[in-house]
Structure 1
């Protein structure tokens, strides 16, 4: 009996490995042919994970590049740690992708094993009629081509699948454990739920109901203590991560949330944000939950089977959290401005949860006798066969996308690495392959890579000139000397501060943000030296410099106002020229648009070297027609200032005498007539 059981288990593992390894080969082989031997990665984000993994392997966890400091931009806390051993074992450069592929296959086989444990019939009625379900469970794992694309992409989705399966098994163990063992099993659920969240943040939509399910299975144990054991690990993880973000970046949220969430847009109205979320939900529903599953009618099979599992007494404690998690995760993903792109990869966790719930539904139906088992087999066959028409398209898309990344990002990395003299630092936008493969330090202008706690992610949301303001804060030797950018993304930076020296253009682009990535040599001569101070100034606010704005509790009119702008003009009035003469060197400054009838405000710094009394407020602007401003200090009355037409080819200054100001006072500047283009504010002694 023991030998027969062992042979049966080995046969099951072989039968599970065949579809998993076969699906992996179906995706990787054509992609390898397209990339000409470079290990395929259909997303450049894969190389971002590789960068975090390399940093962790070199003793710099939670850093994208050693020396850049803490980064909250990694979408997964655990996945780079899982990849790091591969780097230490010698999987370097693109070949870390081979280790990621092996890890993905192992993770999917682990998910299959978890499904077998959940679906193998226990002794009792229906056991004979449902014994086949565990053997077809691996087919559910690889049945949806859109999900397979993400499973084998090199991203963290396969690892999430393995953790998902183990978390479900842990909930089942709580159900079956004797009372003395249940607290330990509930804590196991809590730890695995925390691991889910650490692997993908939107998995919190599953982690929470799984904790409730574990507490519901408490039996004679106290409900509150049970819920605490199952939920506190995830809550503590989220709290610790938020606290670390706040301490090292000044933001409670991760850089990805700051950069990508629709809610983070400072200019859009609530209605505009809601419309974008609805667009995302519609695209995800139609493309990920309908087309990817075989079409509108066939797509109903997975939710139907999941509902059957939710009704069944033996499986509902797992199925209900899976259904809540699938649709809850999709709602969270819809808040991501990029949810509709990158082949809908953000929908992959939801698809995985639906497939697992459907497998449980097949098992629940099969246990109800031979007739029900026949119906279960028919529904399972239909659910598995319906998406199969998408395999050819998804395999082809995987290969083409991998060729795009190899042809553009990998090639740019090669060219930068071959430049002489070697670049000091490269400025790029959320591009992982370039610094990882070239070995050149980088600053991510979109902020996901993190750089010494500076708010690049928030600045990139406000606008390109705000990113330049942060670069202006860096010492000259620390500023990037080359750029690798998409020109259409970086107007006002690449064309103003860069000189085009090379470019890589690809054909048949299905994945990159543009078909051409351009290499520039940097010229930052228009930026002010760090720490430059104008004579006579006791306090100043550099508008659109988010660090300076935060220090002065600056507020701009939001939404539909305060848009960031930038210009390079002579007549700086803030340096060695001693005034605003038109013959001074051109100087960059960023600012904000204050629409008519709206206002900006800021607080005078608490360390400003000025006693209470009179002062002069100096406002920098550029050219334009006549405007009128209203200036008020603290709760005092507003003073109207008429500003005549200004020349367009130089900076201009508006001087406003203030009669009674002190550190901590709030100054309000309202645009009474026309739009005020506000670039810089100085408070000077009279």
Structure 2
């Protein structure tokens, strides 16, 4: 009997695409509502997050031939949180989509990934919860307001959620294969796994006749799944660094699959020569080795970005990691770090996943209880259906939401770091509906509709938040358009072409102005993240050392974010947007940069004839502090400032410098003790310590040299002063510990210490 003809490639493609049709229809309808709301409020294409324009700027530079340089003229920038999202956008720019027209491409990608995420969530839920609850999971995913918000936000959030969910689904399918279902698994073959490898013999082909080998032997479905899984595990961390979780899941699943492979059963002796058993064993061992080698592929994914950073920027960590990651932040010691992490976890559990104040726009109140019960239902479903690996993988994906708790804050941008792990919560909710439905049927067999009814109720509860979320999406897009986008266009029209703009929100200002930017936060400007993390005073001290050609000519910033008034000159224009909750501030202001105060506080205001500076500790200057082993308290970044005031009153001998009526200096607030090491090359004939300090309430400071107190100084209440105290010169020839300790008062502010002498 002749084998049935293979389906055409077009029919096969249609069969694979068929499961996506309902999801695409739902996503298309939802997208139309989102886009219509945005166009109505903003008057044109707009995006609700400035970060989306960071991706678009990187995409433009890629299309222009600059490999992840953020602005023309600068080199590689390690600030791209997502390596692949700009790569996906770059071809659209190369094809001619410019300015805001690129937003339509971003929206199209959002629609596709939104639909694909709903399909993958349903597929992940089906082996654990059955077809009815799985369909409900897909509906929950499609109607989840957070996914709708971010699908049309221009961010990579939904694409990342899709690849996490797909990785989890493939890993589970590889660990616990099931008879394939073409409607739910595009990677599965059309025939069941139990189908015989060879067709039965017929009268047209007697048993003694040798079987004709097919021209292209069918490949085991697990091989296709394994390759797809390895690819997903490799790609996931290129979309976001948290994708390392997907890499780990993929590697473990692939290694487990390779290790459990059994040798092939002995074949009956055919009439023609066949491979020897030793050759068959060698092939089996070769297949196992190939499987283990494939398991290493996902583990390479998390190494790509660090390798690029090391090669092109000289350091493996990204600037985003330096700014946002708690672990490794120099301002957090062990106890402070643990407290911050626990606070974040507590906030996640008690507010974020419960529909509290931070997520009420997306989640119904009390959602945490459903997720908790869903976790129990997940374990029950795994036991009842023999799916422990599926449940473990879903649980690992759900626990991935703890990863953003390691950030300085995961509340930025509508909690966008948490939502990619939400499909696991939806799967657990689907398991809950199935277990409750089965329990109802055990009580009364006619209650077969309970599972789909509950799944529909959960989907409806999530979808009920859609009007609120769509309104917030449109309002936020309007706010960004009226502030950052407007200021970017203003800069393009009013600032010189060679201007360099200092910014704290860098996306739209760089994208629309066409001017070089200087990211004061350090996300897109290499080398600045360290100083942003340290605080405003450290940034001011750092700017003193920057070459003039690297300094901004203008600033467009939120003044309270910048917190560095000495470098902000004349105001040029501002953009004020009220009735919004997405912006970093109601008003963003464009300034001329002011650099005349740089270095103005480098010397004491009084100097005696013939006296010179023998050593200097410039407080807040990170390099000076490190050179003098200056001791910092935890959370020192929160008490770091830069100020400009009239020249301080001084008790030091010598003449007052009349050319410095105003000084600027960085300093650290609310100190109770300052300890550092003085380093002089030789013992001076005489020496004194000059302190530039201040106190809100007045203070008395005790000064010790090498552990011995040598005197005290009084600091009056009010602005800064300079006080001088004689030092035992003979003891200053070697590195000498010096301590300034609060004797009286609530605290003091330290700006500068000099050892002057002859």
TM-score (norm 1): 0.81
Report how far residue 41 of structure 1 moved. 0.7
User: Is the 2:544–2:598 contact (alpha carbons within 8 Å) kept by the matching residues of 1?
Assistant: yes
Q: Report the CA distance shift for 1:194/1:135 in structure 2 as closer, same or farther (over 3 A).
A: same
Residue 399 in 1 paired to residue 399 in 2? no
User: Is the 1:505–1:515 contact (alpha carbons within 8 Å) kept by the matching residues of 2?
Assistant: yes
- Alignment correspondent of 1:627: 700
SS of the aligned residue for 1:460 comes to: helix
Residue 654 in 1 paired to residue 661 in 2? no
State which of 377, 380, 395 in structure 2 corresponds to 1:323: 395
State which of 91, 96, 101 in structure 1 corresponds to 2:107: 101
User: Is the 1:366–1:373 contact (alpha carbons within 8 Å) kept by the matching residues of 2?
Assistant: yes
CA distance in 1, matches of 2:366, 2:118: 27
- Alignment correspondent of 1:555: 631
State which of 282, 303, 323 in structure 2 corresponds to 1:258: 323
TM-score (norm 2): 0.74
Residue 333 in 1 paired to residue 404 in 2? yes
State which of 39, 48, 52 in structure 2 corresponds to 1:32: 39
Superposed, 1:250-649 pairs within 5 Å as 252=317, 254-256=319-321, 258-259=323-324, 261=326, 264=329, 266=331, 270=336, 273=340, 274-275=342-343, 277-287=345-355, 292-296=362-366, 299-300=370-371, 303=375, 306-307=378-379, 310-311=382-383, 313=385, 315-326=387-398, 328-356=399-427, 374-422=449-497, 424-449=499-524, 451-454=525-528, 457-493=529-565, 497-528=568-599, 536-537=612-613, 540-558=616-634, 563-569=639-645, 581-593=657-669, 595-596=671-672, 598-602=673-677, 604=679, 610=681, 616=687, 618-623=689-694, 625=698, 627-632=700-705, 636-645=706-715
Cα deviations by residue, 1:378-427 (Å, 9 ceiling, x for unpaired): 33322222212111111111111111111111111111211154571112
Superposed, 1:137-176 pairs within 5 Å as 138-172=138-172, 174-175=174-175
User: Is the 1:15–1:135 contact (alpha carbons within 8 Å) kept by the matching residues of 2?
Assistant: no
Report how far residue 210 of structure 1 moved. 4.6
Report how far residue 13 of structure 1 moved. 3.5
CA distance in 1, matches of 2:68, 2:376: 41
User: Is the 1:582–1:650 contact (alpha carbons within 8 Å) kept by the matching residues of 2?
Assistant: no
CA distance in 2, matches of 1:372, 1:556: 66
Question: What is the RMSD of the two structures over their aligned residues, measured on CA atoms?
Answer: 4.6
Report how far residue 30 of structure 1 moved. 1.0
Report how far residue 532 of structure 1 moved. 11
User: Is the 2:501–2:516 contact (alpha carbons within 8 Å) kept by the matching residues of 1?
Assistant: yes
221-230 or 637-646, larger mean C-alpha shift: 221-230
CA distance in 2, matches of 1:249, 1:504: 38
Report how far residue 506 of structure 1 moved. 1.8
Report how far residue 149 of structure 1 moved. 0.8
CA distance in 1, matches of 2:483, 2:41: 13
Report how far residue 17 of structure 1 moved. 1.5
Q: Report the CA distance shift for 1:401/1:602 in structure 2 as closer, same or farther (over 3 A).
A: farther
SS of the aligned residue for 1:339 comes to: coil
SS of the aligned residue for 1:404 comes to: helix
- Tell me, which stretches of 5 or more residues in structure 2 are unaligned? 178-187, 194-218, 262-284
User: Is the 2:236–2:244 contact (alpha carbons within 8 Å) kept by the matching residues of 1?
Assistant: yes
Report how far residue 662 of structure 1 moved. 6.2
Q: Report the CA distance shift for 1:227/1:6 in structure 2 as closer, same or farther (over 3 A).
A: closer
User: Is the 1:614–1:657 contact (alpha carbons within 8 Å) kept by the matching residues of 2?
Assistant: no
Residue 669 in 1 paired to residue 676 in 2? no
CA distance in 2, matches of 1:147, 1:204: 21
CA distance in 1, matches of 2:112, 2:244: 24
User: Is the 1:262–1:277 contact (alpha carbons within 8 Å) kept by the matching residues of 2?
Assistant: no
Q: Report the CA distance shift for 1:144/1:649 in structure 2 as closer, same or farther (over 3 A).
A: closer
- Alignment correspondent of 1:81: 87
CA distance in 2, matches of 1:600, 1:62: 42
462-471 or 283-292, larger mean C-alpha shift: 283-292
CA distance in 2, matches of 1:250, 1:615: 45
- Alignment correspondent of 1:16: 23
Report how far residue 557 of structure 1 moved. 3.0
CA distance in 2, matches of 1:532, 1:195: 54
Report how far residue 362 of structure 1 moved. 7.7
User: Is the 1:242–1:254 contact (alpha carbons within 8 Å) kept by the matching residues of 2?
Assistant: no
Q: Report the CA distance shift for 1:249/1:5 in structure 2 as closer, same or farther (over 3 A).
A: closer
SS of the aligned residue for 1:215 comes to: helix
Cα deviations by residue, 1:156-175 (Å, 9 ceiling, x for unpaired): 11221332244235425644
SS of the aligned residue for 2:416 comes to: helix
Q: Report the CA distance shift for 1:305/1:75 in structure 2 as closer, same or farther (over 3 A).
A: farther
User: Is the 1:262–1:276 contact (alpha carbons within 8 Å) kept by the matching residues of 2?
Assistant: no
27-36 or 265-274, larger mean C-alpha shift: 265-274
CA distance in 2, matches of 1:526, 1:208: 52
Q: Report the CA distance shift for 1:294/1:492 in structure 2 as closer, same or farther (over 3 A).
A: closer
CA distance in 2, matches of 1:464, 1:347: 29
User: Is the 1:308–1:365 contact (alpha carbons within 8 Å) kept by the matching residues of 2?
Assistant: no
CA distance in 2, matches of 1:569, 1:657: 32
CA distance in 2, matches of 1:391, 1:561: 39
- Tell me, which stretches of 5 or more residues in structure 1 are unaligned? none
User: Is the 2:704–2:739 contact (alpha carbons within 8 Å) kept by the matching residues of 1?
Assistant: yes
Report how far residue 447 of structure 1 moved. 2.1
CA distance in 2, matches of 1:134, 1:594: 57
- Alignment correspondent of 2:208: none
User: Is the 1:68–1:452 contact (alpha carbons within 8 Å) kept by the matching residues of 2?
Assistant: no
- Alignment correspondent of 1:56: 62
CA distance in 1, matches of 2:406, 2:678: 33
User: Is the 1:414–1:438 contact (alpha carbons within 8 Å) kept by the matching residues of 2?
Assistant: yes
